Amino acid sequence: MRAMWGTAATRGLLLGVGVLVANFAVPRLLPGTPLTAPELAPLPSGARQRIQAEYLLDRPWTEQFAHYLRSLARGDLGRSLVSFRPVTQVVGERVPWTVLLVLTSWTGAVVLGALLGTLSAVTERGFRRRLWLSALVFVGSLPEFLVASLLILTFSVWLPLLPASGAPHPPYTWAQVARHVFLPVVTLVVSATPTFALLSRDLVGAVLREPFLLAVRAKGACSWGVLRHAWRCVLPTFLTLAGLRLAGLVTGAAAVERVFGYPGMGSLLFDAVLQRDYPVIQGVFLLGSLLVLTASTLLEGVARWLDPRVR
């Protein structure tokens, strides 16, 4: 078992290092630097020198990299070019909102997708099943921002039940938070569920044709019993793949947050891009990627632990 955790953790670590290196290398390798960006007003010379000194931009890249790692170890991601607050603080206050949004909708979509997928795997072939599948494929191929707009139109414009945008003001209650999180979560659930449903349908459908399930049936297990056996077999695979899909959900969340004006990392990214606030953009990239990697590595570990043959 330790070995299995080991491989998941090794991969997570390697990828994490990859992200750290990309965060360092991408801005330095790409043509054009933040200091010479044409959209920016020419910086006063003092500011330019301060920025150069802060990132050691006139030194060889090995020194820059060592400096970068040292600041990372201190939890220092630089300062925002706009608000001059530390990036860790600027990004950090948005993280809980995005984590709430992504985790809630991921969980919802996984559960709903597993249910729908199992249902369609046991439905008999025919027109109804095909209709189901076509509907799933169609809904699943809609971009998130479109689903978001349709939901706003339905629940905020035609039926004014829920707020179309924004977040509650600081002394908030759970009910207020729930009201504001509801539509974004529904959007992500709607657009992520079909993928999980089709995935679990394929997996469960394949296992249901296995001889050992025929034996289970022959022993007189009820259909719940059969499904329980099937899911035990499918669950590790399903969880691993669903964990990898988290990265896709974060993309969707960025667009959804923007459409709903939700105060998460996606909206922060939008503002930072608009103001060309490079340290903040880098901070969102770094923290977002590391969070996703941690989550999917943990899930993979859990999935491997769930596998009875390994345990």
Partner 1 sequence: MARPAGAVAVPSRRTPRTPGPGVDVPTAGALLVLAALVGVAVLAGVLASYAPREVAGPPLATPGPRLPLGTDELGRDLWSLWIYGTRTSLLLGASVGLLSTAAAAAAGIASAGTHVFARIVSAFTELVAAIPVFLLLVLTMALTGPSLGALVLALSTCGWAVFARVVRVQTRVELQRDFVAASQALGATPVWVLRRHVLPQLAPLLWTKFLLTVRWAVVVEATLGIVGLSDPVRPSWGSVLGSAFSYPLLFAGDVWLRWAGPPALSVALLTWSCTAVGELAAGTGGRRNGDARGSAALTGSWGAVRELALGPSRRGIPEGSVEKKSAGWAAHGRV
Among 91, 101, 185, 234, which residue interacts with partner 1 (rule: CB under 8 A)? Answer: 234
The answer to whether 186 contacts partner 1 (rule: CB under 8 A) is: no
Phi, psi of 79 (to 5 degrees): -120, 150
Let me know if 168 is exposed, middle or buried by CB neighbors in 10 A (0-12, 13-18, 19+): middle
Residue count of the chain: 311
Binding positions for partner 1, 251-280, rule CB under 8 A: 251-252, 254-255, 258-259, 266, 269-270, 272-274, 276, 278
Among 90, 264, 282, 301, which residue interacts with partner 1 (rule: CB under 8 A)? Answer: 282
Q: What DSSP state is assigned to residue 36?
A: G
In the complex, the smallest distance separating the C-beta of residue 192 from partner 1, rounded to whole angstroms, is: 10
Q: Are 99 and 293 in contact (CB under 8 A)?
A: no
**Residue 76 one-letter amino acid:** D
The answer to whether 20 contacts partner 1 (rule: CB under 8 A) is: no
What value, to the nearest 5°, has the Cα angle with vertex 10 and ends 195 and 17? 90
Give 185 or 192: the residue with its C-beta nearer to partner 1. Answer: 192
Which stretch in 49-57, 86-94, 166-174, 281-289 sits in contact with partner 1 by CB under 8 A? Answer: 281-289
Per-residue contact flags (x/-) with partner 1 for residues 21 to 50, judged by CB under 8 A: -xx--xx--xxx-x--xxx-----------
Q: Are 172 and 180 in contact (CB under 8 A)?
A: no
**Residue 204 one-letter amino acid:** V
Of 102, 48, 104, residue with least CA distance to 291: 102
Output the CA torsion sign for 151, 188, 191, 143.
Answer: positive
- What one-character-per-residue DSSP string does 64-123 give? HHHHHHHHHHTT---B-TTT-SBHHHHHHTTHHHHHHHHHHHHHHHHHHHHHHHHHHHHS
The answer to whether 240 contacts partner 1 (rule: CB under 8 A) is: yes
The answer to whether 6 contacts partner 1 (rule: CB under 8 A) is: no
The answer to whether 156 contacts partner 1 (rule: CB under 8 A) is: yes
The answer to whether 141 contacts partner 1 (rule: CB under 8 A) is: yes
The answer to whether 229 contacts partner 1 (rule: CB under 8 A) is: no
The SS3 assignment for 183 reads helix
Give 156 or 176: the residue with its C-beta nearer to partner 1. Answer: 156
The answer to whether 18 contacts partner 1 (rule: CB under 8 A) is: yes
Per-residue contact flags (x/-) with partner 1 for residues 189 to 208, judged by CB under 8 A: -----xx--xx-xxx-xxx-
The answer to whether 152 contacts partner 1 (rule: CB under 8 A) is: yes
In the complex, the smallest distance separating the C-beta of residue 174 from partner 1, rounded to whole angstroms, is: 27
In the complex, the smallest distance separating the C-beta of residue 137 from partner 1, rounded to whole angstroms, is: 4
Tokens 């035609």 correspond to what residue?
A: 158
The answer to whether 167 contacts partner 1 (rule: CB under 8 A) is: no
In the complex, the smallest distance separating the C-beta of residue 86 from partner 1, rounded to whole angstroms, is: 19
Rounded CA gap, 146 and 227, in Å? 35
Rounded CA gap, 241 and 143, in Å? 21
Q: What number of chain residues touch partner 1 (CB under 8 A)?
A: 84
Among 77, 227, 233, 264, which residue interacts with partner 1 (rule: CB under 8 A)? Answer: 233
The SS3 assignment for 54 reads helix
The answer to whether 168 contacts partner 1 (rule: CB under 8 A) is: no
Rounded CA gap, 114 and 110, in Å? 6
Give 67 or 276: the residue with its C-beta nearer to partner 1. Answer: 276
Among 5, 65, 145, 182, which residue interacts with partner 1 (rule: CB under 8 A)? Answer: 145
